[in-house]
Amino acid sequence: MLHSISLDVRQAEFLALVGSNGAGKTTLLRTLSGLLPIGSGTLEWEGRAIGGLTPDAIFRQGIVQVPEGRQLFPRMSVRDNLLMGAYRRDDQAGVRADLDRVYGLFPRLAERRRQLAGSMSGGEQQMCAMARALMARPRLLLVDEMSLGLAPIIVDQLMETLTAIRDQGVTILLVEQDIHLALAAADRAYVLETGRIVREGPARDLIADPELKRAYLGV
């Protein structure tokens, strides 16, 4: 359960929402996506109230989530999974251009484009889930627990890609249990504990906070 959450997401920034397992991070993302209702308060995006909209209507506002666990179509090819991200688009030339763009961001997906998504490694599947979301041309990309179960070298590559996506003008909200990882990459961050925000500020300041280091980083 969330309590009195106040979250400010700024255009074209990399925002991290960090905290331990069970803090409410995924619940907050599901609320932003319209999958869970808002008990009270307001939810606005680009000046418009979206708190009562359906998940599909929120998706149409440019808010796209990369879910925890990836949720690919395992018996479909990588390319077909990517095209599912553009299923509401009818600009075929734009879709082809975006396929080329995500293949540029994730060259391994270009190599695997005819391979069944379920036969790829965990890291490759995470790349595919992120690329599928980008095919929807998000203005706000919600990324849930990207590093879960992946080797550190793959996580570092994915984090570099997220930074590149931010540099292209997409706003990113990353939910992550690995606090050091998230704070090292983000512009700003919120720390969530038992459904409440207990810290917020520039990520570089939070990563140097002695109390947070003791509580989450063991130093």
Query: How would CATH label the architecture of 1-62+138-219?
Result: 3-Layer(aba) Sandwich (3.40)
Predicted confidence at residue 3, as pLDDT, reads 76
The predicted-structure confidence for 150-181, as pLDDT tens digits, reads as follows 999 999 999 999 999 999 999 999 998 888 88
Report yes or no: 113 and 79 within 8 Å, Cβ to Cβ.
Answer: yes
**In angstroms, rounded to a whole number, what is the distance separating the alpha carbons of residues 219 and 205?**
16
Q: What number is the average pLDDT over the span 97-119?
A: 96
Q: What would the 3-class secondary structure string for the chain be?
A: CCCCCCCCCCCCCEEEEECCCCCCHHHHHHHHCCCCCCCCCCCEECCEECCCCCHHHHHHCCEEEECCCCCCCCCCEHHHHHHHCCCCCCCHHHHHHHHHHHHHHCHHHHHCCCCEHHHCCHHHHHHHHHHHHHCCCCCEEEEECCCCCCCHHHHHHHHHHHHHHHHCCCEEEEEECCHHHHHHHCCEEEEEECCEEEEEEEHHHHHCCHHHHHHHHCC
The predicted-structure confidence for 80-105, as pLDDT tens digits, reads as follows 999 999 998 889 999 999 999 999 99
- φ, ψ of residue 29 to 5 degrees: the values are -65, -40
- Terminal C-alpha separation, the chain: 29
Domain ranges, ordered by start, for the chain: 1-62+138-219, 73-121+128-135
Q: Range with the lowest mean pLDDT among 111-115, 124-128, 170-174, 205-209?
A: 205-209
**In angstroms, rounded to a whole number, what is the distance separating the alpha carbons of residues 31 and 71?**
18
Predicted confidence at residue 124, as pLDDT, reads 96
